[in-house]
Amino acid sequence: MKWDDIQVFLAVFHAGSTAGAARELGLNQSTVSRRLTALETELGFRLFDRIPGGLVPTTSALDALASAEAMRSAANRLTAELQDRDQRVAGTVRVAMFTQLARAFIVPRLPELLTAHPGLRIEFVESTLVSDLARREADLAVRLVPPQSGDLVYKRLGSFGFGVYVSKHASGIDPDRPPPLDALRWIRWDESMSFLPESQWQRQVAPSAEVVLTSMDQGTILTAVEAGLGAAVLAIPLAERHPDLVEIHPESAADLSQPVYLVAHRALRHLPRYDVAWRFIAKLLAEAAGKV
């Protein structure tokens, strides 16, 4: 039994005709008549007697009225609850982004967001996959490329610049007189991340240099550079948060940059909790990109 047909029954009962019910429901009269007939066929008994000028409820209709009204009340309560839930800044927002970006720029500022909206919860999906939004594994995502498909919306937040960094305490490297790029020991992204512009740049400028560590985790790369293991191409806003790192050959990567995008499902974008999270993340990452 379809809820739409129960709505037709209630509208006909109170209007006394299919024409009146059609006006109430915003349907045409033939649609109302067809649905009413289908409901009576499904139930196996008449709900209304057809008389000139209208319809008269049968005993069966009178018996069914209370249950149908209860169904309508329950449906109205459910609709109101769902609408209220979507209009409150409460509930969970799942955000997919690079772990190090979350740790550096978002997590330290979360107390101010959650103090302002105590019913809000943020769940980080520590992923670099573009497909997590399409699979509904996340609600918002920070991405390095704009989406090419799906019912998604996005905003470019800015671009991160890059530099070549080593530890101030690395043996054998004088930051004021560093060795040439191809003479450095390098820490770089794993081959699976070779699409990143900083990874491509390092391979081009120092194709034969010694590579002592590869990783697909930005935090591991940062830690390795801090430990004095070698040099790496790092996003400037991230590297600046590590006082033991120093940039060398600053002119070499001056033109290297990476756009950053914030992406969301179109249907969720302007619902309150997603909108609040969107604006919060966009502001912090735009500020970080603005340091470049």
pLDDT at 292: 38
CATH classification code of 3-87: 1.10.10.10
pLDDT at 134: 61
Domain ranges of the chain: 3-87, 91-157+258-289, 158-257
Of the ranges 15-19, 87-91, 163-167, 274-278, which one carries the lowest mean pLDDT score? 87-91
Domain at 158-257: CATH architecture: 3-Layer(aba) Sandwich (3.40)
> What confidence tens digit (pLDDT) does each residue in 186-198 have?
999 999 888 889 9
Share above pLDDT 70 across residues of the chain, in percent, rounded to a whole number? 92
- What average pLDDT does this structure show over 160-181? 88
- What average pLDDT does this structure show over 175-203? 90
Q: Name residue, tokens 């990452």.
A: 285
Q: What is the dihedral of CA 266, 271, 272, 273, to 10 degrees?
A: -70
> What confidence tens digit (pLDDT) does each residue in 23-74 have?
888 888 899 999 999 999 998 999 999 888 789 999 999 988 998 888 888 8
Do the first three CATH levels of 3-87 and 158-257 match, i.e. the same topology?
Answer: no
**pTM attached to this predicted model:** 0.65
- The fold of 91-157+258-289 is D-Maltodextrin-Binding Protein; domain 2 (3.40.190)
Cα–Cα distance measured from residue 245 to residue 240, given in angstroms and rounded to the nearest whole number: 8
- What average pLDDT does this structure show over 9-30? 89
- Three-state SS sequence of the chain: CCHHHHHHHHHHHHHCCHHHHHHHHCCCHHHHHHHHHHHHHHHCCCCEEEECCEEEECHHHHHHHHHHHHHHHHHHHHHHHHHHHHHCCCEEEEEEECHHHHHHHHHHHHHHHHHHCCCEEEEEEECCCCHHHHCCCCCEEEECCCCCCCCEEEEEEEEEEEEEEEECCCCCCCCCCCCCHHHCEEEEECHHHCCCHHHHHHHHHCCCCEEEEEECCHHHHHHHHHCCCCEEEEEHHHHCCCCCEEEECCCCCCCCEEEEEEEEECCCCCCHHHHHHHHHHHHHHHHHHCCC
pLDDT at 129: 54
